[in-house]
Amino acid sequence: MAKIELQNIAHSYNPQAADKAYALNPFNMTWVDGGRYAILGPSGCGKTTMLNIMSGIVQPSEGKLLFNDVDVTKLSTSERNIAQVFQFPVIYGTMSVEQNLAFPLVCRNFEKAVIVAKVQEVAGALSLEGLLKKSASKLTADQKQLISLGRGLVRDDVAAVLMDEPLTVIDPDLKFRLRRQLKEINQKYRSTLIYVTHDQNEAMTFAENIIVMDAGSIVQVGSPSELFERPKTTFVGYFIGAPAMNFFECKLEGSHNVSFGGASIITETDLSKTGEATLKLGIRSEYIRIVETAGINTIKAQVQRVEDLGTHKLVSAIFDNQNVKIKVKRDQEVPLDSVSLEFPARHCCVYEKEQLI
Amino acid sequence: MGLLYTCLKYLVVSLWSIFVIAPFLWAISTSFKDFQSVTNGATYIPWVDFEPTLEGWRALWKSPAKGGVDIVEPFFNSIFVTCAGSLISILLGTLAAYALSRFTFKAGFIRNSDITFFFISQRIMPPVVLAIPFFIMLGKFALLDTLLGLIVVYIVLLMPIAVWIMVDFFNKVPREIDETALIDGCNPYQAFYKVVLPNSIPGIIVAGMFCLIFGWTDFFFSFILTFTEVQLLPVAIVALNSSITPWWSLSAAALVSVAPLIAVAFVVERYLSKGNLSGALK
């Protein structure tokens, strides 16, 4: 287990080219020992490259990688003592399940008694006890992925366990159970877990800290609630939450006020130093309230449709040619024509050039 | 429509089976004939059309001094040269193919695909182009008319096949297998022989089968590069042909020469039917 620091790390898959085209732009990052992290971002944003740099599969074009303040940038993968689980199951098809689980320990010359005990423990945690003597190639895709996971968890001296969308091929029911087990394993062994995903629900339920990435850069690092409540950029607002955050083109009106479509909205953000006249107002659909009478911080929108999503209703409305989505309780009555919507000031975020003020 | 299709299907399969099996039946039948049975018109069924005899078979291991043709030594020479050539080709070819599949080589304009093509290009040239250089080189190293010389030539001829098949096979093996082995604590060599190699046995078997077939059936080089000391089976069989062709011994020798390949085909077919040659990894 180790504190992992990435210092000015950057990577280009074609570093000799005049236009380097970074897959990962230069950045600094510290992963606290024993932390549970999720790297979240759309496909091709550099998540897997970052993971491969940490495990040593990819040598970064620039920067240094430190494990407990020791420079490991030039060390080989096996010397870094990292565990990594890939998106698709990687099993050693000619070995039994037991041999697969024991392989990382056998390679590192652990004592036989330790290997047997550890394999039993991990097999128990992943419900693989009954399959230990079976050939790994004969198992189903999700059982194979459990073996991949097991090989990642069998060593408890690893610097970190890196997981690259490991639950993609797992059934939803088992996925939920495994996420919980991974959390428990992290709490038990305090091993650093870094989990790459593009599924925000997975990231939000699993991690203590989430790193949101876009186009090779880290956009925001924070707890699930920070990302939800105060997205640092409009990209994070769109990417986190279902539905995405509502954004409205608006004009600066006062030190805390913005206006759009004739409505004035008071926020808790100090806008006195803002240079831009055109801003964006962001608010989560969960925080917009349907009120009976128009008052302060309200707009009058036209309801387009109401969808019953089982646990709640999703109201789609339009105001000043801009769409508004509102999440309401299932039993709440929603007028089907015009509706007054209140924007609570403490939940309003204001963005200048797509960045949170 | 369904019935017609089934009938047509069986008809085509039956015709093809006859086409494949008939020469074997002809050779088996002829191998039990003597001079009279062969020359007195067409006969097919033993004991009905002609009286079977083992003369043709006996001649195969009688020395020429006793009127035989003695293909025992050429048979074992062929087995030795083909197996040794195939084994070394597979060993070297698998290593070369793994390197070409996993590492990037650059030398001027030459890249991995060019190196792979260079290997395969050895098989594009007509054998006669290679015959004179082989003859001169083996002569210089005193390897003409020796088993070792033939093995060296067969390695040159068979390794491209091994490289070609194995590069394609390794390219289909996910790199994550190697990467996982490295993460689990192997160095690159251990990752190859502990993880990648055991998973590549199906590919090695296919490559080995092709090497054995091409090695075993080669006539041209064994004919050009040997004289009196060493003889391989195809050359020995052709040598049977004299002014009066001994069809009975020739048929028996042909059956003996094809028997090892049939045995290999049966072993590999059983392996193929288990589905072990595909999807071994995921």
pLDDT above 80 for A188: no
Are the beta carbons of B186 and A107 separated by less than 8 Å?
yes
> Nearest residue on chain A to B181, judged by CA atoms?
A104
Domain ranges of chain B: 2-53, 72-273
The pLDDT of residue B19 is 95
Are the beta carbons of A151 and B179 separated by less than 8 Å?
no
pLDDT above 80 for B112: yes
Q: Which CATH number fits domain A246-356: 3.40.190.10, 3.40.50.450, 2.40.50.140, 1.20.1260.10?
A: 2.40.50.140
Q: Which of B177, B187, B201 sits opposite A90 (nearest CB)?
A: B177
Query: For residues A322 and A261, is the Cβ–Cβ distance under 8 A?
Result: yes
> Nearest residue on chain B to A151, judged by CA atoms?
B184
Q: Which of B176, B184, B187 sits opposite A86 (nearest CB)?
A: B176
- Mean pLDDT score of chain A, rounded to an integer? 87
From-to residues of CATH 3.40.50.300 in chain A:
4-234
- pLDDT: which is higher, B281 or B62: B62
- C-alpha–C-alpha distance, residues A281 and A248, integer Å: 5
Q: Which residues of A307-329 are buried (b: 16+ CB within 10 A; e: fewer)?
A: eeeeebbbbbbebeebebbbbbe
Q: Which of A88, A104, A144 sits opposite B185 (nearest CB)?
A: A104
pLDDT band at B278 (very low <50, low <70, confident <90, very high): very low
The pLDDT of residue B274 is 52
Q: Which residues of B touch A (CB under 8 A)?
A: 174, 176-177, 179-187, 190, 194-195, 198-199, 201, 280-282
Bridge partner residues of A70 (DSSP)? A67
Are the beta carbons of B176 and A90 separated by less than 8 Å?
yes
Average pLDDT, stretch A276-283?
A: 85
- Give me the half-sphere count of Cα atoms (radius 13 Å) on the Cβ side of residue A146: 27
> Nearest residue on chain B to A79, judged by CA atoms?
B185
Other beta carbons within 10 Å of A217: 15
pLDDT above 60 for A354: yes
Instruction: Give, in words, the CATH class of A4-234.
Output: alpha beta
Residues of B in contact with A56 (CB under 8 A): 182
E strand or H helix that includes residue B250: helix B247-273
- Prediction ipTM score: 0.73
Average pLDDT, stretch B199-217?
A: 90
- C-alpha–C-alpha distance, residues A328 and A334, integer Å: 9
Query: For residues A145 and A169, is the Cβ–Cβ distance under 8 A?
Result: yes
- C-alpha–C-alpha distance, residues A65 and A58, integer Å: 12
- C-alpha–C-alpha distance, residues B262 and B209, integer Å: 11
Of B212, B219, B218, whose CA–CA distance to B265 is shortest?
Answer: B212
The pLDDT of residue B275 is 45
Rg (CA), chain B: 24
The pLDDT of residue B69 is 76
pLDDT above 60 for B282: no
Mention every residue, 6+ apart, whose C-beta is less than 8 A from residue A261.
A299, A319, A320, A322
Average pLDDT, stretch A174-190?
A: 78
- C-alpha–C-alpha distance, residues A325 and B90, integer Å: 65
pLDDT above 70 for A72: yes
pLDDT band at B243 (very low <50, low <70, confident <90, very high): low
One-letter amino acid identity for A279? Answer: L
From-to residues of CATH 2.40.50.140 in chain A:
246-356
E strand or H helix that includes residue A217: strand A217-222
Question: Is A7 strand, coil or helix?
Answer: strand
Average pLDDT, stretch A304-327?
A: 89
Most confident by average pLDDT, A195-204, A277-286, B41-50, B70-79: B70-79
Q: Which of A55, A83, A94 sits opposite B198 (nearest CB)?
A: A94
Percentage of chain A modeled with pLDDT above 90: 23
**DSSP character at residue A108:** T
| pLDDT one-digit tens code per residue, A78-101 | 888 888 888 888 889 889 999 999
B189: which 2 tokens? 């060599």
The pLDDT of residue A119 is 93
- C-alpha–C-alpha distance, residues A174 and A118, integer Å: 22
- CATH code assigned to B72-273: 1.10.3720.10
| pLDDT one-digit tens code per residue, B125-169 | 888 889 999 999 999 999 999 999 999 999 999 999 999 999 988
Are the beta carbons of B180 and A151 separated by less than 8 Å?
yes
Weakest mean pLDDT among A246-255, B10-19, B66-75:
B66-75
Cα dihedral B109, B115, B117, B119 sign: positive
Q: In a mutagenesis test of the B interface, which of A90, A109, A138, A155 is the best target, namely the one with the most B β-carbons within 10 Å? A: A90
| pLDDT one-digit tens code per residue, A105-119 | 999 889 999 999 999
| pLDDT one-digit tens code per residue, B95-105 | 999 999 998 88
